[in-house]
Structure 1
Amino acid sequence: MLPWRYLGYVGYYVGAGLISGAVVHHPMAPTRYSLIAASGVLVFLLATVLNDIILATERQPLSRILRVLGTSTMLSFGLGMLSGGMQHFADLPERCAVLIPLGIVLSFVAFFLK
């Protein structure tokens, strides 16, 4: 059980990391960074399925599962905007000045809804 929980948490961080890089760098190569963001969302959602559905102690109804997946997607983008904006503020201050507060709001709303 422990290795699966570990892999689930690794998936959260790797997914959010891919999204954070993609969100910040997207204007430089939109196609490339859209694929990276999509990969990050997929990894984050797989981690969510593993942690919140497969390894959950109680089975949830479909409506709850869909809400968890939706809010997890929002959370992954919010965290990606926040961490990517913080990492690259010196490089892209105008873009990151928008990404950081939007990331805070989006991740907070997603966390609250989840």
Structure 2
Amino acid sequence: MNFPLGHISSLCKYTGISFTAGAITHGFFSGERSFWTAAFGIAIYLVGGTLEKISNPDKDHSWTDVLAIGIVASIGLGFFTGGLQHFPDSPARSSWVVPVGFAMSLLAMYLMEGKGKVKVRSVLIYGVISLALVIAASLYSLSYFNEHGGDGHSHDHGAPAQVAAPSMKEVRIEVDDTMRFSPATWEAQAGEPIRIILVNKGKVDHELVIGTEKEIIAHAKEMANPSTKGHHHTNEVSAKPGQVAELVWTFKKPGQYAMACFEPGHYEAGMKGIINVVPKKH
């Protein structure tokens, strides 16, 4: 065995799974960038499988195993690990992504390692029982998180309000494809719930994410990573073209906060703004 080449192959395979899992958990079904992230992850996984075969030629894996079955394995492992990681903040999607990923990984494992070596009957018994347990656990988790809510990756500078009162202050923010918020600067009081109304007059998706300047900058760097997409935070509201969306928010402390849109390329194009939060008036 060629040890250095074997190590590199392992790095490639696990990196590929990580990219695929990232694409799944951050919006594989909602953005072109995530599609290409998944494709890149699968490709890297296949490179790892190819290097593994070259480094260990005595291992009984055909090129069909490495390439065709490798695709099933990388997607299945990406589905399973990604779905588990983000079950709290995307339970509806994870409830079926996890079982599908488990089934795909099981199939790939049998075709690559078990075919002709273990009895089909024993694999079927194990597969039916284990998949049933995974499905049951996923459905229970879906019910639990729908009832209690997930972690939502919330931030400590504010909190979403559950009910919008008729007398609540409203801030209407319009967006279009000029990549600007209108207004780009507005004021709020600490401790006062605000109904933020996002009106999308453009032809592409837009969003509004609230945070401190430090958080927004850090989030911009995070979103620049190809494996990151499709966040669903409690401090974020998004609207499809021609639609209106709302977020009820309460800032806990006075200070200057920021807002931004992290759809691909929007923040870089200048889609950002300032929120001045003043002390609550008594």
| TM-score (ref. length: structure 1) | 0.88
Selected match of 2:106 from 81, 105, 108: 108
Question: Who is 1:73 aligned against?
Answer: 71
When the two chains are superposed, the root-mean-square deviation of aligned CA atoms in Å is 1.7
Larger radius of gyration: 2
In the other structure, the counterpart of 2:44 is 43
Partner residue in 1 for 2:260: none
**C-alpha separation in 1, matches of 2:94 and 2:67:** 26
Deviation of 1:73 (Å): 0.8
Cα distance, 1:60 vs structure 2:
7.1
Unaligned runs of 5+ in 2: 113-282
Q: What SS class does the counterpart of residue 57 from structure 2 fall into?
A: coil
The structural deviation recorded for 1:59 is: 8.4
User: Residue deviations 1:9-44, cap 9 Å, x none?
Assistant: 01111000000111222134x210011011101100
Using CA pairs under 8 Å that are at least 6 residues apart, name the structure with larger relative contact order, 1 or 2.
Answer: 1
Higher normalized helix content (fraction of residues)? 1
Q: Are 2:57 and 1:57 equivalent residues in the alignment?
A: yes
Distance 1:79 1:59, change over 3 A: closer
1:73 aligned counterpart, secondary structure: helix
Shift of 1:4: 1.4
1:11 equivalenced with 2:50 (yes/no): no
Percent of matched pairs sharing the same residue: 28
Question: 1:59 and 1:71 mapped to 2: Cα distance?
Answer: 15
Q: Which residue of 1 aligns with 2:90?
A: 92
- Could you tell me how far apart the structure 1 residues matched to 2:7 and 2:104 are? 26
Cα offset for 1:66?
Answer: 1.9
Q: Deviations over 1:51-110 (max 9, x none)?
A: 02x11233879xx21233111110000000000000000110000000001110000001
Number of corresponding residues: 110
In 1, Cα distance between equivalents of 2:11 and 2:64: 22
